[in-house]
Amino acid sequence: MTTTRTQVAIVGAGPSGLLLGQLLHKAGIDAVIVERVSGEHVLGRIRAGILEQVSIDLMDEAGVGARMHQEGLVHGGIEMLFGGQRHRVDLHKWRGGKNVMVYGQTELTRDLMDARQAAGLKTVYEAKHTAVHGFDGAKPYVTYEKDGQQHRIDCDFIAGCDGFHGVCRASAPRAAIKEYEKVYPFGWLGLLADTPPVSDELIYVNSERGFALCSQRSRSRSRYYLQVPLTHHVEDWSDDAFWQELRLRLDEEAREKLVTGPSLEKSIAPLRSFVTEPLRFGRMFLAGDAGHIVPPTGAKGLNLAATDVKYLYDALVEFYQNKSEAGLDHYSQKCLGRIWRAERFSWWFTQLMHRFPHDEQITAKFQNAELSYLMNSPAGLTTIAENYVGLPLDFGGAAG
């Protein structure tokens, strides 16, 4: 067994763990990251790609925003297609000049990985049997196995950035944790292709055949999604079948403009709303997907992870620089206030845009009427824009 020491042991090298590591490094706080899979495996995951201003600002604060500003596409609006008609939500107009940025999570992760490597910071990839210990006392530590050798990292704090299936949340005492969950009765079939996007902006589609989304990664790379039943398997969806079904869910103009091509990636993701309370267990803190999951409608997952990280980072800096535990004490409550707001929006937007099994015919009529109301009311447009571009960091809300 080898034993090393660090100030913060971070479990998980997804966007949460890497961003936290980078911010801590900037503040002169030492951290080691332990990751279960390889770096290539982490980069192979295709996830959403919409950054709110708070996430953009955090990438800058971490000193890794250069490529994002060069290659990211600033979007001042989104389109909503329902009842066969397209309507634009001018985010810029209805949300005081705010925008969102299209920049794939893969690219953001790559930037963080590169910066970590360039700074010579330690990340242990392909660590087996990671376990967290002693976080209910003053001397927490993390153990793992690598290349058949046992390792131990002594630390002041453990940051659980290890996603929904991670070991940190699973190690919290059952009596101290409450989990809230809703699983949706459908999934999203996603397809990535090197074809120009069908539209400059994203199109969220409510159609009789189910939800669809036209998204993008760049001016030459598209990402599309279709709502599919949970019983479907990705192998049963040929590229042709995907494009054909997408066309049927689009309007005439988009159908004509749609450029199809071979898929680079195709996968089905389930939809889930999930929140853990609290997010702190003694000297262990959960951040990102380890503590909460949103359905992808509205693209809040990565942005919520980034703001957890920001709150945790601020609290740790306060601890090390001012010897104050106030930030750490408030971490959970502060995050949860923002998390529940985003959970609510993602759940509401999912209900508004999808066909649910066993829905009565009247439900589609209600959805159309609600969408039509929202698109024609300044209050409705403001509510969508405000939530889509995201709440400010200091939104002042209380936990849900």
Q: Which of the residues are catalytic?
A: 75, 204, 296, 300, 388
Number of residues forming the site for ligand APR (CB under 6 A):
29
Contacts of ligand APR in 46-85 (CB under 6 A)? 47-48
- Look at strands 203-207 and 77-82 and give their pairing: parallel
15 part of the interface to ligand APR, by CB under 6 A: yes
**60 in helix, strand or coil?**
helix
Residue 13 contacts which entry, ligand PHB, ligand APR, none (Cβ below 5-8 A, type-dependent):
ligand APR
Interface residue with ligand APR, options 8, 17, 113, 339 (CB under 6 A): 17
Q: How far is the CB of 378 from ligand APR (least distance, A)?
A: 30
Which uninterrupted H or E stretch holds 271?
strand 263-277
Q: Between residues 51 and 159, which has the closer beta carbon with respect to ligand PHB?
A: 51
Alpha helices by DSSP H, the chain: 15-26, 39-43, 53-61, 66-71, 91-94, 105-118, 167-171, 239-249, 252-257, 301-322, 326-353, 361-375, 378-389
Instruction: Give dist(CA 17, CA 159) in Å, integer.
Output: 8
103, 108, 110, 115 alpha-carbon torsion, rounded to 10°:
130
Tally Cβ neighbours within 10 Å of residue 124.
17
Residue 264 contacts which entry, ligand PHB, ligand APR, none (Cβ below 5-8 A, type-dependent):
none
297 part of the interface to ligand PHB, by CB under 6 A: yes
Query: Is residue 129 left, alpha or beta, with left meaning phi > 0 and alpha meaning psi from -120 to 50?
Result: left
215 part of the interface to ligand PHB, by CB under 6 A: yes
297 part of the interface to ligand APR, by CB under 6 A: no
89 part of the interface to ligand PHB, by CB under 6 A: no
CB 212 within 8 Å of CB 246: yes
Interface residue with ligand APR, options 22, 55, 106, 130 (CB under 6 A): 130
CB 246 within 8 Å of CB 259: no
Burial letters for 55-94: b for 16+ Cβ neighbours within 10 Å, e otherwise? bbebbeebebbeebeebbbebbbbbbbbbeebbebebbeb
Interface residue with ligand PHB, options 12, 14, 15, 49 (CB under 6 A): 49
277, 279, 280, 281 alpha-carbon torsion, rounded to 10°:
60
Contacts of ligand APR in 99-128 (CB under 6 A)? 105, 127
299 part of the interface to ligand PHB, by CB under 6 A: yes
Q: Between residues 224 and 313, which has the closer beta carbon with respect to ligand PHB?
A: 224
Q: How far is the CB of 100 from ligand PHB (least distance, A)?
A: 9
Q: At what angle do helices 15-26 and 53-61 cross, to 10 degrees?
A: 50
Interface residue with ligand PHB, options 10, 20, 32, 48 (CB under 6 A): 48
223 part of the interface to ligand PHB, by CB under 6 A: yes
206 part of the interface to ligand PHB, by CB under 6 A: no
301 part of the interface to ligand APR, by CB under 6 A: yes
Q: How far is the CB of 366 from ligand APR (least distance, A)?
A: 29
Residue 167 contacts which entry, ligand APR, ligand PHB, none (Cβ below 5-8 A, type-dependent):
ligand APR
CB 23 within 8 Å of CB 121: no
Instruction: Give dist(CA 41, CA 23) in Å, integer.
Output: 23
* Site of interaction with ligand APR (CB under 6 A): 11-17, 34-37, 42, 47-48, 105, 127, 130, 161-163, 165-167, 288-290, 301-302, 305
* Site of interaction with ligand PHB (CB under 6 A): 48-50, 202, 213, 215, 223, 296-299
